[in-house]
Amino acid sequence: MTDTATMSRKGDFPGLVTETGDAWHYLDTAATSQKPQVVIDAMANALGRDYATVHRGVYGRSANMTLGYETARRRVAEFIGGHEDEIVFTRGATEAINLVAQTWGLANLKAGDRILLSTLEHHSNIVPWQMLRERVGVEIDVCPLTADGAIDLDAAAEMLSERHKLVAFAHVSNVLGSKLDAGRAADLAHGVGAKLLLDGCQSAPRMAVDVAALDCDFYVFSGHKLYGPTGIGALWARGDILAAMPPWQGGGAMIDRVSFAKTTWADAPQRFEAGTPAITEAIALTAAIDYVEGIGRDVIARHEDMMVAKARAELSRINSVRLFGPEDSAGIVSFEIEGIHPHDLGTILDEENVAIRAGHHCAQPLMDHLGVAATARASFGLYSDEADIAALIRGIERTQRIFG
Beta bridge partners of 393: none
Strand order in the sheet with 114-118: 87-90, 233-237, 218-222, 195-199, 164-170, 114-118, 139-143
Query: Could you count the other beta carbons within 10 Å of the beta carbon of residue 41?
Result: 12
Biggest distance spanned by C-alpha atoms of the chain:
74
Rounded to a whole number, what is the distance in angstroms from the first to the last CA of the chain? Answer: 39
Beta pairing, strands 25-26 & 354-355: parallel
Instruction: Classify burial at 220, counting beta carbons within 10 Å of its beta carbon; exposed 0-12, middle 13-18, buried 19 or more.
Output: buried
The CA distance from 159 to 173, in Å, is: 21
The CA distance from 322 to 252, in Å, is: 52
Beta bridge partners of 179: 172
**Active-site residue identified among 143, 201, 216, 362:** 362
Angle between helices 93-100 and 127-136 (to 10 degrees): 20
The CA distance from 253 to 247, in Å, is: 12
Peptide bond into 269 cis (omega under 30): yes
Based on the residue annotation, tell me whether 362 is a catalytic residue of this protein. yes
**Residues 220, 234 contacting (CB under 8 angstroms):** yes
Distances (CA, A) of 120 to 78, 169, 199, 360, 373: 29, 9, 12, 11, 14
Secondary structure string (H, E, C) spanning 39-71: HHHHHHHHHCCCCCCCCCCCCHHHHHHHHHHHH
**Residues 219, 198 contacting (CB under 8 angstroms):** yes
Give which of 278, 236, 213, 238 is closest to 69, Cα–Cα: 278
Which residues are known catalytic residues?
362
